[in-house]
Each structure stands twice: as structure tokens, then as C-alpha cells.
Amino acid sequence: MLAENLFISKITTLFSHTIKSQETVHVAFCFDDNYAMPAGIAMSSVMINNSDKNLVFHLFVNSVSDVKIQKFHQLSEKNTTIICYEVSDEFSINPDTLVLHVSASTCLRFVVPQILNKVTSRVLYLDCDILCTNNLNQLINTDLSDKYAAVVPDVDKTQEKQCSACDIPYGEYFNAGMIYINTDMWVDNNLTEKAFAMINSGKVYKFADQDVLNILMQGKTQFLPRIFNQLISLTVGGKEDSVLSDDTVIIHYVTGNKPWYQLYLTSLYQRYIATSPWANQKLLLANENAPSTTRRYAKLLASQKKYFSACKYYLLYLKHKAFKKR
């Protein structure tokens, strides 16, 4: 059995506020320095749509600067608590497993239920590239009495590939960006230790921690409608999140085209940025590790006969590409 705090070097409560008449919901995020702002926007969206609850945010952070952590103090509300868990140097993941630009920080979710079981039997894990756009009541009232978690099936394209790769029945491969976890059942079955053993075994899993969680929890998950983890792939100049149904609870921006980049910023995401402590933060044009996004924008502008702007962004693409190679 793994020691509970093997991977955690320090736990700090940023602030703690509770309204006695309200129920408490525990929400966990895992991120490194690059995802601090998106995590904050996601948390702010949860707060805006769930003022009827006490919200306890558990932040599992990997090498996040003190300056960025201080920004989270501005999320203080009368019903909100934020606890920060700093990852120790003992935390490591087999780098051969981290394909498809998967960050080691995403594997921190293996630790979350083990650490939080002492304070709650239920925790909502969320990726940082989400927005919560409705109340979480229906989700947190899901019966998990004999289930590891409530999850949402991944898209058909992923099902077709990963169900076979993970030996899972078609339709039962879930996306791990939203997992409502039964921490009691997780700990009783020692899933944290099993997950780390699998991810560090030397075998390469295409979707790393997501594949591991699907294999470990197979047959013991409660599947929910897509409104609880609505996967969206943004395009340059597109606004795919504007056409979702009004009852969508969680929007999950998958792929590298994230809405906190100028080229993919949507009106919906901008509204949530504007109401957060990050309202005045300058957004990067695009992912610094993906210059092709700038080239695609130049191509879009050219198709719209905006040739001067197209040339400008194509030159930015060339500069970006050259800088990346250094």
C-alpha cells in the first residue's frame, strides 16, 4: 500500500469559508505552471454556477510559481475553500508512456482519491480545459454505492481505437476529463498503487493515464449523458461551443486548440475570463509549441481575402517555427 503523502511535499490552505446551511462539494484539479490560468478560469466557472454549495477546491500542483498561486486568493468567496497540495520530487512517470504531448501532471489524478479519502467519500475531478456552464446538482447526486466513478463515454472515433487496445467493450471507454469518484471504493481496491504500477511498467499507453483508468475501472463505472463532459474541438475562427444545448453542464475543450489562445478564443470563454481574476491577463496568440495553428489562421484569412492580415500571420508562423527549432 502506498503511503498517503508519498508524492505530496506540502499542503497549504489558501483560505476556508463555509456557509453552514449549504451542502459541501469537493472538486479537484491537477496542473503545472502552464495550466494555472485555465485552472483558475475553470474554478471560477464552477463558482458562478454553484453558489448554492460550499465548494472545496483541492489543487494538486506541480512546479507552479508562487506568483501564480497567489492569484488564486482572489477567488475567495463566503462559500469557497482552496487547499493547495504541492507535489514532491518523488513524483515521476515513465517518460516513454507520455506520448501525444501528455503532461506528467495529468497522472496526478491517480493520487487525488487516495489523499482526499480522509475528508470526503466523493470528489469531482476535472481537467483544467473545461468550463462549467450549469449547476452540478444532477451530477453530484449520482448513485455511486457500488461504482468507482461516474463518467461519460468518449467519442466514437476514440472508442473504435481504444476499446480494442484496452480490451474494453465498445462504448464503455470513457474520457477522463471529468470523473466523479467514489474515494472509499477507490482506496478499498488500492487503485492508486495499481495505476502507478501500470503507468510505470514500461508498457506504452496511447492515452497514458486515461487508458490506465479505463482498464482499472472497467465494468464498475456509472455512465452519464454527454452534457456532463461535452467534448469540443475548436477550429481557427470557429465558435463550436456556441451551438451546444442549454443544458450542457461541462464543456471540455479537447485537442491542442485551447480557448485561452487568441486564435481560438470564443465569446463564451471570454465571458468567463472577464468575470475572473485573470480578466486583464494578456493571452498568447497560440500554443507556443504548435506554430501550425498560426499558419492555419493565415490560411483562413487568405480564404476571406484578407491578404494583408494573412501575410502578417504567415510571417508570425515562420518566426514562431524558427524560434521553436532553437
Please say whether the beta carbons of 260 and 41 come within 8 A: yes
Grid cell 451530477 is found at 139
Q: Which residue from 105, 197, 212, 107 is spatially nearest to 167, judged by alpha carbons? A: 212
Beta-strand pair 80-87/8-16: antiparallel
pTM above 0.85, yes or no: yes
Q: Which three cell numbers stand for residue 207?
A: 492515452
Q: What is the pLDDT of residue 93?
A: 52
Q: What are the φ/ψ torsions at residue 120 (nearest 5 degrees)? A: -160, 145
* Three-state secondary-structure class, residue 256: coil
Write down the H helix ranges in 173-241. Answer: 183-188, 191-199, 208-216
Instruction: Name the amino acid, one letter, at 58.
Output: H
Tens-place pLDDT, residues 198-237: 887 778 778 888 999 999 999 999 999 999 999 999 988 7
Low-confidence ranges of the chain (pLDDT < 70): 1-6, 89-107, 289, 322-326
Do 151 and 231 contact (CB within 8 A), yes or no?
A: no
pLDDT at 39: 98
Strands (E), the chain: 8-16, 24-32, 54-62, 80-87, 122-126, 130-132, 149-153, 174-182, 221-223, 230-232, 250-253
Type and span of the H or E element at 320: helix 307-325
